[in-house]
Amino acid sequence: MTSTTAYIVCEDLFKIYKIADLEVVALRGLDLVVDEGEVVAVVGASGSGKSTLLNILAGYDTPSAGRVSVGQTDLLRMTSKDVETYRRHEVGFVWQQTSRNLFPYLTALENVSLPMMLTNVPSKEREEKARYLLETVGLSDRMDHTPEKLSGGEQQRVAIGVALSNTPPLLLADEPTGELDDATASEVLDLFGKINQEFNTTIMIVSHDPDIAYKVGRLVMIRDGKMSTEVRRKVSYEKISGEAQVDAKLEEFTLVDGAGRVQIPKEYLDQLQIKERARVVVEDGRVTLVPEEEQK
């Protein structure tokens, strides 16, 4: 067995947005542990809390309650200076909107170099690193192009280069392929596998597309601000292309949180006509949920 280290730890995480006197609960007691070097997809319907979670992990937003840490950093106990350092060194971020990731008047090379200027990397080293990263993302022949001269897929590749500029241990991507066609999306997702192989970067990709399951070894489903089920499969990434080889065997688990709460898929509840109450029975090493009528 290979030893693993918990890298992202979210415990009973809540995020409540207040607009006037209305409260929106975006995260409701979310638990999640991601190990160092893992590639995880977080999948859920629109409004389920995916971006909220990613923004908290990126240090763009703070939770309302609970615990969250990334590596040695406790995200609830950061000064504004800590936040700045955290964002520059610990985490890279890729947005869905290609235009949001890049400065339109800078070339690909300049875009990738920019975050290194903010961390005072000497200019020669900056350029070498930026070239190396653009080669890694497959854009050796596009370095001097500005974003408008690049396709959507190429722009997202540059964006990944920008996110990796300061070699962060964590890469977060919020629906990075949302604006791309299927074939291009598939290539960009392969790139995440390649980066994971090359830099051992821990990667969390948010998506509303369950097909991402064919690109990652672990997929966590989020529903109403809480993790509900998880699919784990053996995955290996091809070293050069990053293409994922995912074991066909699919194992889906329902997640049990620290307080013993589980989410039962609605179709099961409907099937057994379980509405508000059920009896929980332990027998033969199993926990069984018995519909109310059967208890008479």
| Binding interface with ligand ADP (CB under 6 A) | 17, 19, 24, 26, 44, 46-52
- C-beta of 67 vs 208, nearer to ligand ADP: 208
Instruction: Identify the residue whose tokens are 């499969």.
Output: 233
Q: Which is nearer to Mg ion, 62 or 97 (CB)?
A: 97
Decide if 204 contacts 8 (C-beta within 8 A): yes
Pick one of Mg ion, ligand ADP, none as the site partner of residue 226 (Cβ within 5 to 8 A by kind).
none
**Is 55 or 85 the residue whose CB approaches Mg ion more closely?**
55
Quote the least distance from Cβ 222 to ligand ADP, whole Å.
Answer: 7
Choices 30-38, 44-52, 141-149, 279-287; region in contact with Mg ion by CB under 5 A: 44-52
Q: Is the Cβ–Cβ distance between 13 and 68 less than 8 Å?
A: yes
Positive or negative CA dihedral for 104, 105, 107, 112?
negative
Q: Please choose which of Mg ion, ligand ADP, none residue 49 contacts, taking the beta carbon within 5 to 8 angstroms, the exact cut-off set by kind.
A: ligand ADP
Q: How far is the CB of 44 from ligand ADP (least distance, A)?
A: 5
Please state the closest distance from residue 51 (CB atom) to ligand ADP, in A: 3
- In order of 32, 50, 280, 289, the CA distances from 283 in angstroms are 29, 37, 10, 11
Gap between the Cα atoms of 49 and 3, Å rounded: 31
- Are the C-beta atoms of residues 115 and 96 closer than 8 Å to each other? no
Instruction: Give the nearest distance from C-beta 22 to ligand ADP in angstroms.
Output: 9
- The partner residues of 251 in beta bridges, in order of sequence, read 232
Question: Of the two residues 197 and 207, which places its CB atom closer to ligand ADP in the complex?
Answer: 207
Say which residue the tokens 């980066």 belong to.
195
Residues 6+ apart with CB under 8 A from 40: 34, 203, 204, 205, 216, 218, 219, 220
Q: Residue 51 or residue 111: which is nearer to Mg ion going by CB?
A: 51
Helices (H) and strands (E) in the chain, counts: 8, 15
51 lies in the binding site for Mg ion (CB under 5 A): yes
Q: Nearer to ligand ADP by C-beta: 19 or 248?
A: 19
Cα–Cα distance measured from residue 5 to residue 9, given in angstroms and rounded to the nearest whole number: 11
Answer with the entry of ligand ADP, Mg ion, none that 73 interacts with (C-beta below 5 to 8 A by kind). none
Which residues are 171's β-sheet partners?
92, 203
Q: Give which of 2, 21, 33 is closest to 218, Cα–Cα.
A: 33
Nearer to ligand ADP, 26 or 185 (CB): 26
Tell me how far, at minimum, the Cβ of 174 lies from Mg ion, in Å: 6
The CB-nearest residue to Mg ion is 51
For residues 26 and 188, which CB has a smaller minimum distance to ligand ADP in the complex?
26
End-to-end CA distance of the chain, in Å?
Answer: 48
Count of residues of this chain found to bind Mg ion when the rule CB under 5 A is applied: 1
Please name the residue that has the structure tokens 């854009």: 139
Q: Binding segment for Mg ion among 16-24, 43-51, 73-81, 278-286 (CB under 5 A)?
A: 43-51
Residue 91: CB minimum distance to ligand ADP, A: 17
Q: Is 207 a residue that touches Mg ion (CB under 5 A)? A: no
Contact footprint for Mg ion (CB under 5 A):
51
